[in-house]
Amino acid sequence: MKRILITGGTGSFGKAFVEYILKNKPDVSRLVVFSRDELKQWEMQQLFPVDQYPQLRFFLGDIRDQNRLKRALERIDTVVHAAALKQVPVAEYNPIEFINTNVLGSENVVQACLDTSVQRVVALSTDKAAAPINLYGATKLCSDKLFVAANNVKGERDIRFSVVRYGNVMGSRGSVIPFFLEKAKTGILPITDTKMTRFNISLTQGVDMVIWALANALGGELFVPKIPSYRISDVADAVGPSCKKPIVGIRPGEKIHEEMITSSDSFCTIDLGQYYAILPSDGHTLLKYQNYGIKFQKVQEGFSYNSGSNPDFLNVQQIREMIRQHVNPGFSPL
């Protein structure tokens, strides 16, 4: 991991990943931020000026453009694929745009990596890709399948493709906590459904997981972290205990609970301790784990990992502490 490119590098995860690499990986000689928004790139350059971080490069481009990707990937050995369109209601209204970016764009990344000197690829997924009921989740499931299947056509190339799937990133753009923090100023926090739950992961945990996957993936795995859940109603109570909380109903394409491993996945899922890994059903990757002597346990048939049945839930006070730690250090409930 000497020369890294991250697609969607100006997003919430991208910024956190870049900051981690710059602070903790001095042996990385080249770190390329690939994204399509020139303003966000300029803003990021102010945070990480070139005179302090000469290894950092910004490459303007879109994953829909395979030729541009190939040029950006010259002399790159490691790729983190974080670029995606993500808003569930927007996907329902503009489906083809999500298909063009999340599916066809992901295939462009796969092909560009196969055509260059890339050796390690980790793609970011989402809990909404497990048994998807919305267009966004369906496109991310397609993306997951593309990256897993890429290992079948690598031939003699020294390259491994894997995927990490996790839940809502605390404090990321468009997520519920920043939304509630802003809405609390009005005295009203709209709640979709009092029964709704979601998985929760911090940006730091997400970055750590990707770094771990880059170092440990054998190729073909879809990694899932063991993380807590929260109730949307508890998030509202944590942010604005004195606010009014009208029930507004779920948005198009939303689930009451999110799932990261379905019962159908259980036949191919192993427990690695800190993470689960959903392996390809052909058994080749499982055989690698056995041959390499990696410790794991197969999960029980019928096992599923669901935010509603998850035994680990954050309470209101824990949510407040996590908001202070990961989103707003000066936060106080309204």
Mean pLDDT of 125-135: 94
Q: What is the CATH number of the domain that holds 205?
A: 3.40.50.720
Angle at 220 between CA 114 and CA 35, to 5 degrees: 50
Q: Is the pLDDT of residue 171 over 80?
A: no
Mean pLDDT of 58-78: 97
Task: Give the structural domain span for 136.
Answer: 3-168+200-227+260-304
pTM of the model: 0.93
Task: Give whole-number Cα distances, 87 to 66, 131, 258, in Å.
Answer: 24, 17, 15
pLDDT of residue 172: 79
Q: Is the pLDDT of residue 149 over 80?
A: yes
Q: How many residues does the chain have?
A: 334
Mean pLDDT of 85-99: 94
pLDDT of residue 254: 83
pLDDT of residue 252: 77
Does residue 207 sit within a domain?
yes
What is the separation of C-alpha 281 from the centre of its chain, rounded to a whole number of angstroms?
23
Give catalytic status of residue 23 as yes or no. no
Does residue 186 sit within a domain?
no
Does residue 179 sit within a domain?
no
Does residue 78 sit within a domain?
yes
Does residue 212 sit within a domain?
yes
Copy the structure tokens of residue 56. Answer: 């950092």
Does residue 64 sit within a domain?
yes
Does residue 173 or residue 301 have the better pLDDT? 301
Mean pLDDT of 252-269: 92
What are residue 230's phi and psi, to 5 degrees?
Answer: -140, 155
Mean pLDDT of 138-151: 98
What are residue 5's phi and psi, to 5 degrees?
Answer: -125, 135
The number of beta carbons lying within 10 Å of the beta carbon of residue 131 is 19
Mean pLDDT of 252-277: 94
Does residue 180 sit within a domain?
no
Mean pLDDT of 255-278: 96
Does residue 254 sit within a domain?
no
Q: What pLDDT digit, counting tens, does each position of 195-243 carry?
A: 999 999 999 999 999 999 999 999 999 999 999 999 999 999 999 999 9
Copy the structure tokens of residue 253. Answer: 């394409």
Banded model confidence at residue 253, pLDDT cuts 50, 70, 90? confident
Task: Say which DSSP state 87 is in.
Answer: -
pLDDT of residue 173: 73
pLDDT of residue 108: 98
Among 302, 292, 299, residue whose Cα is nearest residue 271 = 299
What angle, rounded to 10 degrees, do the helices at 316-326 and 232-239 form? 70
pLDDT of residue 26: 94
Among 109, 108, 87, residue whose Cα is nearest residue 98 = 87
Banded model confidence at residue 328, pLDDT cuts 50, 70, 90? confident
Domain count, the chain: 1
pLDDT of residue 196: 95
- The number of CA neighbours under 13 Å toward the Cβ of 237 is 11
The catalytically annotated residue of 23, 25, 40, 128 is 128
Identify the burial level of 126 via C-beta atoms within 10 angstroms of its C-beta, where 0-12 means exposed, 13-18 middle and 19 or more buried: buried
What angle, rounded to 10 degrees, do the helices at 176-183 and 232-239 form? 40
Distance CA 155, CA 166 (A): 30
pLDDT of residue 8: 97
Distance CA 290, CA 175 (A): 39
Q: What pLDDT digit, counting tens, does each position of 26-56 carry?
A: 999 999 999 999 999 999 999 999 899 999 9
